[in-house]
Amino acid sequence: MESSKWAWILVWALGLSNGAWAQNAGLGPPAQASRSLEGVWQGALPVPGGALDLRFSLVALVSGEYFAALDVPMQKLSRVPATVRQPAGTDSVLLLVPQVSSRFLARRSADGQLLTGIWCRPGLRTPLQLRYLPLPAAPATSPGTRFAPPYRAEEVAFQNFPARLRLAGTLTVPPGAGPFPAVVLVSDLGEQDRDGLAPGGAQAASPVSYRLLGSLADYLTRHGVAVLRFDDRGVGQSGGINAAATPTQRAGDVQAALNFLRTRPEADLLRLGLVGHGEGANVALLVAAQPLAPAFVVGLGAYGLPGYETLLQQHELAWQTQKLPPAQLATRLRRERTLYDLIRYSTSPAQTQAMVANLLRQGEATLSAADAQQQAAALLTPWSRAFLAFDPLEGLAAVQCPVLLISGLADEQAPPAQHLAALERELRAGGNRLVTAFRPAGVNHLLQPPNLQWTMLNGELKPIVAPVVQEELRQWLATQLGK
């Protein structure tokens, strides 16, 4: 389709005539090929009695689209999602901000430094000019962020008194006096720090590493929610041993985190919630079934099948991808089931380790006796045994608070057709009518969109939390919190 036709259709869809857009925004014929808009666009919007400082931050995606967000500090609006439209071959630019029912129709100057046009709100049109600034460089000490956060961050520590355990984390608080709605973030299985990184991993020191929990905390705090995220047991500044932390014990850590928030004047005690990822979502539901339950729970990529079924399903999918012959696939699955049964039901630790090591060597002839013993010991940690036996549906009838379940259709670790469906069914069977389920297309277990939507940083692809997940989370929380 020709660029002029594309632009006309875009304007028509907004309820404006092509002539009105061109006249009001001062647009003329196409000037040259579209140029990248990546950067910060800042200006002052005239309002009765003064002006509002506006700032759009635009980051180019691999697909040619943009990740865009609007900040209006005087109105305490931060990282409000925006959509960018730039008809090919023109200097015309359209910025849509549906959350505040506004749009900016503009033309870019020949030197690329200005966007001049009309800011449109229901019943109002105001001339506006935005000036270009380069994106801030990421601080060397904080490779996971690109914009200075408009909120307060505090290093904190709290106690899990029954376990005699000290846990450490970060509390982020929106600007203002509060009290604010608040959440605790709960990590998935394995060792993770407060940002969602495995300590010492290859990506831990990478400027493009994926910090799921850190990204969620930043997004939620920018939208008015105080967030506590903490290092897992035995990770970072938290005490304890991670391999010994069962889901039930982790629930004690999360309850301790909630109790810590209950001591903070910035947190609204009637609006405390949990946001868990993977196993962390199941831990959050465990806490919601206990006394002193949270006001709401968000489960991201939660497991809905027992641990041994989950692992069997994951391994079967991986082996099917390898296109193993049916007989070989069946043998591997029988061996895997036997392995899990030995781990779950055998009672003598020494004998169980010997049996598991023997089974591992029979499945892999090149495995040495010492390596088999080492692998067997790793499979027999308290966490491993507890995870295999853990049934995430048990006790869900006691969960009566609002629950949001989000699982991407590209999640291969916990496919929503089995896991989310089982959780939703069990919660509703227990009488909970406050359950919402969301299955976004193209989103994986780490809540990442297809890589065409990722950003570029220092010449490398940088994964992001899918905007569709963030927006669903924001809208649901706004409904629950009365915002």
Which range, of 26-40, 52-66, 230-244, 444-458, averages the lowest pLDDT? 26-40
Which pLDDT value is given to residue 89? 76
Which pLDDT value is given to residue 208? 58
Give the Cα separation of 373 and 354 in Å (integer).
7
Tokens of residue 133, six digits = 């600034």
Arithmetic mean of pLDDT, 216-226: 92
Arithmetic mean of pLDDT, 66-90: 83
Which pLDDT value is given to residue 321? 79
Ordered by start, the domain boundaries in the chain are 3-133, 152-306+390-481, 307-388
Q: The domain 152-306+390-481: what is its CATH number?
A: 3.40.50.1820
Arithmetic mean of pLDDT, 12-30: 33
Which pLDDT value is given to residue 11? 29
Which pLDDT value is given to residue 457? 66
- Does the domain at 3-133 match CATH 3.40.50.300? Answer given as no
**Other C-beta atoms lying within 10 Å of the C-beta of residue 67:** 18
Which range, of 5-9, 154-158, 345-349, 479-483, averages the lowest pLDDT? 5-9
Tell me the pLDDT tens digit for each residue of 383-436: 888 888 899 999 999 999 999 999 999 999 999 999 999 999 999 999 999 999
Residue 209 has pLDDT above 90, yes or no: no
Residue 304 has pLDDT above 80, yes or no: yes
Tokens of residue 197, six digits = 């990184």
- pTM score: 0.72
In this structure, is the dihedral angle defined by the CA atoms of residues 393, 397, 399 and 402, taken in order, positive or negative? positive
Residue 84 has pLDDT above 60, yes or no: yes
pLDDT above 70 covers a percentage of the chain that reads 87
- Tell me phi and psi for residue 265, to 5 degrees: -65, -20
State how beta strands 114-121 and 124-133 pair.
antiparallel
Any alpha helices (H) in 52-149, and if so which ranges? none
Residue 115 has pLDDT above 70, yes or no: yes
Tell me the pLDDT tens digit for each residue of 154-195: 999 999 999 999 999 999 999 888 899 999 999 998 899 999
Tell me the pLDDT tens digit for each residue of 340-391: 888 888 788 889 899 999 998 888 888 899 988 988 888 888 888 888 889 9
Give the Cα separation of 356 and 361 in Å (integer).
9
Which pLDDT value is given to residue 64? 73
Which pLDDT value is given to residue 23? 33
Can you spell out the DSSP letters for 219-271?
Answer: HHHHTT-EEEEEPPTTSTT--S-GGG--HHHHHHHHHHHHHHHHT-TTEEEEE
Arithmetic mean of pLDDT, 303-327: 86
**Other C-beta atoms lying within 10 Å of the C-beta of residue 164:** 9
Tell me the pLDDT tens digit for each residue of 35-76: 788 888 999 998 877 888 899 988 877 667 788 888 888 777
Which pLDDT value is given to residue 383? 82
Give the Cα separation of 398 and 12 in Å (integer).
52
Which range, of 24-28, 229-233, 234-238, 477-481, averages the lowest pLDDT? 24-28
Residue 20 has pLDDT above 70, yes or no: no
Which pLDDT value is given to residue 121? 87
Whole-number average pLDDT of the chain: 84
